[in-house]
Amino acid sequence: MNEMDMTQIPRHIAIIMDGNGRWAQKHKLPRSAGHQQGVEAIRDVIKMASQLKVRVLTLYAFSTENWKRPEEEVSFLMKLLVEYLKKEIEELHKQNVIIRTIGDLSAFPLRVQREIEKAKEKTAANNGLIMNIALNYGSRNEIGRALKTIAEKYKEQIISSEDFTDEIIGAYLDTKGLPDPDLLIRTSGEKRISNFLLWQIAYAELYFTDVLWPDFRGEDLIKAIVDYQLRQRRFGGLG
Ligand code: IPE
Ligand code: IPE
Ligand code: MG
C-alpha cells in the first residue's frame, strides 16, 4: 500500500477471473467449489477497488464461449450469479456500487435476467464504483451487434459514413459511456485475451499473475496497480 501513488489509480480495471477449476482441482474439490470460492475474491476486490476510488471494475464472469462447458457447470454458474446478486445486493448498495453489465443477456433464463435487472435498477442512482459484469460477453459478438445497429442507422440515414469515427463506434458498444480500461488483469497464468474487450483494450496495460482467481485478494489488486504505476504509457507518442 505504501508503494502506491494514490494520484495514479487506474480509472478502469478489467479482470479476466480465471483459474476456478484449477483451484478446485488443487483442493481435490469439484469445479463448482472453485466457482463458489471465486465469489470471495469478487467481494474482496470490490471492497478494495471502492476504497481506492477506482471508477470502473469490469469482471469477465461468463463468455460467449463458456456455453461449450457441460450443461451442469453452466447451470451452476447461473445459479451462483442469481445467489450472488440476491445475497450481496444490500451490501453492494450500501457501498454505493452501481451494477452494470456488458454482453447479450437475452440468452439467459428469464429469472436470471430479472434478477440482474433488479440489481441494476436498485443501484442505478448510486455514485460509487461501477461494477460492470461481463455476462455472455464476447468481444466479437459485441462488435457484431454494434455493426448491425450502425448499419440500420446508416440505412435510415440517421448517420452517415463520416460518422464512423472511434468515438461513435465506441458509443455503439456495450461499454458506451465508460472510459477504456487502463489496466487488464488475468489470473491463473494464462496469457491470452479470450475474446475480452478487444476494441477497448487498445492501449490498456496488461498484467498477468499466476494467482488463481479464488485466491486473489485486495492485496493482489494493489500489487497489480503498483506494477501498472511503474509503466510508462506512451500511446504512440514519445512519453
Ligand atoms: C474461470 O475459471 C471462471 C469461468 C470461466 C466462468 P475456470 O472455470 O475457467 O477455471 P480453469 O481455467 O478451468 O482453472
Ligand atoms: C475466460 O476464461 C472467460 C472468463 C473468465 C469468464 P476461460 O477459462 O473461459 O478462457 P479460455 O478458454 O482458457 O481461453
Ligand atoms: Mg479458465
pLDDT score, position 2: 84
pLDDT score, position 178: 98
pLDDT score, position 1: 78
Task: Specify the amino acid at residue 223.
Answer: K
On the CB side of 197, CA atoms within 13 Å amount to 34
Ligand with an atom nearest the CA of residue 58: 2
Q: What digits encode the pLDDT tens for the residues 111-155?
A: 999 999 999 999 999 999 999 999 999 999 999 999 999 999 999
Task: Give the SS3 label for residue 124.
Answer: coil
CB of residue 194 inside a 6 A radius of ligand 2: yes
CB of residue 22 inside a 6 A radius of ligand 1: yes
- The domain locations on the chain are 12-138+181-229
pLDDT score, position 146: 98
Alpha-carbon gap, residue 182 to 227, rounded angstroms: 12
What H or E segment, with its residue span, contains residue 195?
A: none
User: Look-up: residue for cell 494520484?
Assistant: 7
For the cut 90, the answer to whether the pLDDT of residue 76 exceeds it is yes
Q: What phi and psi, each to the nearest 5 degrees, are found at residue 155?
A: -60, -40
pLDDT score, position 206: 98
- Read off the pLDDT of each residue in 190-210 and give the average, rounded to a whole number: 98
pLDDT averaged over the chain?
A: 97
CATH code of the region 12-138+181-229 = 3.40.1180.10
pLDDT score, position 239: 82
Runs of H (alpha helix) within 95-231: 110-123, 139-155, 166-170, 218-229
C-alpha torsion sign, points 105, 108, 112, 113: positive
* Nearest residue to 49 via CA among 58, 40, 60, 37: 58
- Read off the pLDDT of each residue in 217-237 and give the average, rounded to a whole number: 98
All cell numbers assigned to 177: 459511456
Provide the pLDDT confidence category of residue 55 given band limits of 50, 70 and 90.
Answer: very high
For the cut 90, the answer to whether the pLDDT of residue 59 exceeds it is yes
Which numbered atom of ligand 1 lies nearest the CA of 25?
A: 14
Catalytic-role residue among 44, 66, 163, 195: 66
**Is residue 18 flagged as an active site residue?**
yes
**Is residue 66 flagged as an active site residue?**
yes
What share of the chain in percent tops pLDDT 70? 100
Which numbered atom of ligand 2 lies nearest the CA of 66?
A: 9
